[in-house]
Chains A and B, each alone.
Chain A
C-alpha cells in the first residue's frame, strides 16, 4: 500500500538536480530498460522501470534505503536503448549518490571509497608488488597519493570515510 502522506513530491526534482539526473521526468514507463537489463534477467528484485516510477511518485525513503539501487551493473544497455533518453544509468548513479549522503551507502562501495582515499587505487601497493612487477619486466608503480586523499576528504560525504 502506498500512503500519499509518505510521498515526497519534490524527490524527482532533487534527483534531477544531481549530475546526470536531469532527464528523469522524461520517462513514460515503456519498460525498454527492464526488458534489456541483464541483472533483471537473473533477479527480478532489480527492476529499473519500477525504480523510476517510485522516484516519480516520490517514494523517497523506500528508494534510498533499498538494496536494489546498488544492483545496477552500469552496463548502459538501458541508457542506449531508452526512447526518451532518460539516461537511466546516470539516474541510478544520482540515486546512489543521494543515498550515500543520507548514510545508506552499501558497504562494498564504502570500502572502495576508503581504499581509493587511502591508497589512490583500489589496492594497497606494497614493496612485494613492485618486486613482482620488476621480475615481469614492468616499471614500479606509486604507492601513495596524498592529493587523492585530499580530494576524497574534501569532496566525499563525511560519513563515507568514517
Chain B
C-alpha cells in the first residue's frame, strides 16, 4: 500500500512528533510513504478570504499527486477536508473544473478526477483494519486510560466522507485506540470543536472552547488525550499552560498523537515516536506502560 504523505503547514514545523510517529507506524504495518516535495499548503487558510483561491491551491496539490500516479494520505483534519471537498467538487462539476484548470494551466498542471484522498487514521481503520493491526501488537497498553478528541473535519460534513464513520457517534478512532489495549474513556461533549480555527480571531472564545473540553476530559481519571489533528493538538497541548494560567486551573494532561499511541503498542522505541517533543511530558504514562524512558 503506497501513499504520498501530505504534511500541510503545521505538522512539518510544529508537529514533528506526529510526522515521526506516523512514518514509523507506516513502516511497521507495510504502508509506503512517498514524499512529494512540491506539496504546499492545502488551501484551508485562504478559504475564508477566497474560496476559489483555496480550491485552486487544493487542486494544484491533487494534480501533483495525480501526475506521479499517487494516492494522498493526510495527517491534518483541515487538509483532509479541503482536499476531499475540492476533489469531489472538481470531479463532479465540469464548469468549475474548467475554470480551475484554466488557472492551473498557467503553472503547467491539470486536475483530473481519480485521486484517492484519505486521513491516516481512516486508512488504518479501513484499509489496514483492526484485525491486521491487532496481530502486530507487541506491547499491551492495558494500564492506560485515554480519551479521544476527533476534531471536526475528520467527520464532518459527513456527506463529504461517504459516512465512513457515524458523525453523530463515531467509533473508528475508539477502535484504533482500543486495539492497543488502552481503555477508552468517554466524556461529556466529546465531539465539540477545539476552537482552533478562530484562535487568531478571538483568542478568548477559542481558549474558552478548549478549556471546556479539557474540563470535561479531566473530570475522569485519564492518562492522556489522543488527537489526530495538529491544530486540535495546538489548542489542547501548546495552549494548555496558557489556559491554566488564564482560568486558574490545572490539568497537566499529556496530549498524544494517535500514531504515538499505536507506535508504543507496536513496540517502537518512544524516541523514534518523538515523545521528547511533547510539551506536556508523558513520562508518567510511559512508565505506567512499562516503556523505557
A contact residues vs B (CB 8 Å cutoff): 18-20, 38-39, 41-43, 46, 70-77, 79-80, 89, 93-94, 96-97, 100, 105-106, 108-113, 115-116, 120-123, 125, 129, 132-133, 136-139, 141-142, 145, 147-148, 150-152, 154-157, 160
Closest to A139 in B: B35
**Stretch binding the partner chain, chosen from B52-60, B128-136, B140-148:** B52-60
Cβ–Cβ contact B51 & A147, under 8 A: no
Cβ–Cβ contact B7 & A42, under 8 A: no
Interface of A is mostly: helix
Write the B206-238 contact mask toward A (1 if CB under 8 angstroms, else 0): 101100100000000000000000000000000
**Stretch binding the partner chain, chosen from B37-45, B112-120, B278-286:** B37-45
Chain B: minimal CB distance from A160 (Å) = 6
Chain B: minimal CB distance from A158 (Å) = 11
Query: Which A residues are in CB contact (< 8 Å) with B53?
Result: 151-152, 155-156
Partner of B205, one of A39, A76, A79, A105: A39
B31 within 8 A of A: no
B contact residues vs A (CB 8 Å cutoff): 7-10, 12-14, 16, 19-20, 23, 35, 37-38, 40-41, 45-53, 55-57, 60, 103, 106-107, 152-153, 156-158, 167, 192-193, 195-198, 200-202, 205-206, 208-209, 212, 272, 274, 277
Give complex CA distance A13, B198 in Å: 27
| Cross-chain pairs A/B with CB under 8 angstroms, 27 sampled | A38-B209, A39-B205, A42-B205, A71-B201, A71-B202, A74-B153, A75-B152, A75-B192, A80-B158, A112-B46, A112-B200, A121-B41, A122-B41, A123-B10, A123-B13, A125-B12, A129-B13, A133-B12, A138-B19, A139-B35, A141-B7, A148-B40, A151-B57, A151-B60, A155-B50, A155-B52, A157-B50
Cβ–Cβ contact B45 & A122, under 8 A: yes
Query: Which B residues are in CB contact (< 8 Å) with A123?
Result: 9-10, 13-14
Chain A: minimal CB distance from B7 (Å) = 7
Closest to B12 in A: A141
Give complex CA distance A74, B231 in Å: 13
Cβ–Cβ contact B20 & A138, under 8 A: yes
Give complex CA distance A104, B233 in Å: 30
Closest to A157 in B: B50
Partner of A155, one of B19, B35, B47, B103: B103
Cβ–Cβ contact B46 & A113, under 8 A: yes
Cβ–Cβ contact B45 & A77, under 8 A: no
Cβ–Cβ contact B19 & A100, under 8 A: no
Query: Which B residues are in CB contact (< 8 Å) with A94?
Result: 51
Cβ–Cβ contact B193 & A75, under 8 A: yes
Query: Which B residues are in CB contact (< 8 Å) with A75?
Result: 152, 156, 192-193, 197
Closest to B44 in A: A74
Chain A: minimal CB distance from B136 (Å) = 21
Query: Which B residues are in CB contact (< 8 Å) with A38?
Result: 192-193, 195, 209
Q: A77-B152, A112-B45, A129-B12 provided; 16 other pairs, C-beta below 8 A?
A: A38-B193, A42-B205, A42-B212, A73-B152, A73-B196, A80-B156, A80-B157, A80-B158, A105-B49, A112-B46, A113-B50, A116-B41, A142-B37, A142-B38, A151-B56, A151-B107
Cβ–Cβ contact A148 & B13, under 8 A: no
Cβ–Cβ contact A42 & B208, under 8 A: yes
Cβ–Cβ contact A19 & B55, under 8 A: yes
Cβ–Cβ contact A42 & B209, under 8 A: yes
Chain B: minimal CB distance from A20 (Å) = 7
Asked if A71 meets B51 with Cβ closer than 8 Å, knowing A77-B152, A77-B156, the reply is no
